[in-house]
């Protein structure tokens, strides 16, 4: 147990440049506290003590602002940075060494029965304010950009951006890169392309009008 706790603390320190020591993470990081409470709640949930499990999870929610349903399945090394407003649904599955930022929702759409929430592979990063909704998979080493709304499957080693999210495959990106800003946005790229075409057409019209006036 001590070895597992040390590994969890070290995985957070590796990904958060603001973390200065294991002691600081253990006592001051709300995300770490929420995951620890989830581990306890999940133990009771698996053994049929669902009221106790929900009591533990709701108590952790009031203390940390992070709501993790005790029925969720979470691997090792989950890092919830800042954490306020994070919601993780009952049938969510999260792989190893994933990173979630504040106001992330791993939820359902209200249309499904049974498996209602997403499955995240290993080394997945979900940026602040992002919503991943539905019973599909986000592949290993994938990234979901801040503010994205993901409604369909995201392949491994890809980045999902926009509302609704589109997938951009990126090669050579280090898994769990914490950069939420410098990701290719296909919507922005398309708008830029359209703007360039518009300026070309505008210049062409001006040239034709000038030629008509000279005549």
Q: What is the pLDDT of residues 105-123, one digit of tens each?
A: 999 988 878 899 999 999 9
**146 vs 154: CA distance, rounded Å:** 15
Q: Contact, 41 vs 56, CB < 8 A?
A: yes
The pLDDT of residue 178: 52
In the predicted model, residues of the chain with pLDDT beneath 70 are 1, 169-190, 192, 213-215
CA dihedral over 6, 8, 11, 17, signed as positive or negative: negative
Confidence (pTM): 0.75
**72 vs 112: CA distance, rounded Å:** 16
The pLDDT of residue 174: 42
The pLDDT of residue 109: 87
The pLDDT of residue 144: 94
Residues 6+ apart with CB under 8 A from 197: none
Residues 6+ apart with CB under 8 A from 130: 101, 104, 105, 144, 145, 146, 147, 148, 149, 150
């Amino acid at each position: 147990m001590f070895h597992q706790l040390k590994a969890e603390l070290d995985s957070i320190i590796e990904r958060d440049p603001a973390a200065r020591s294991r002691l600081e993470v253990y006592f001051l990081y709300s995300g770490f506290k929420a995951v620890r409470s989830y581990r306890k709640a999940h133990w009771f949930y698996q053994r049929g003590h669902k009221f106790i499990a929900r009591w533990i999870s709701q108590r952790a929610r009031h203390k940390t602002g992070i709501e993790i349903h005790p029925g969720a399945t979470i691997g090792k090394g989950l890092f919830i940075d800042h954490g306020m407003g994070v919601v993780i649904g009952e049938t969510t599955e999260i792989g190893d060494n994933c990173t979630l930022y504040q106001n992330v929702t791993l939820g359902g759409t209200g249309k499904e029965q049974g498996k209602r929430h997403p499955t995240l592979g290993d080394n997945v990063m979900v940026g602040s304010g992002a919503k991943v909704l539905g019973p599909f998979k986000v592949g290993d080493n994938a990234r979901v950009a801040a503010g994205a709304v993901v409604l369909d499957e995201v392949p491994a080693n890809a980045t999902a951006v926009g509302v609704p999210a589109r997938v951009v495959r990126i090669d050579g990106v280090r898994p769990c890169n914490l950069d939420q800003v410098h990701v290719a946005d296909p919507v922005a790229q398309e708008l830029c392309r359209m703007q360039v075409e518009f300026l070309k057409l505008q210049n062409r019209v001006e040239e034709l009008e000038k030629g008509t006036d000279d005549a």
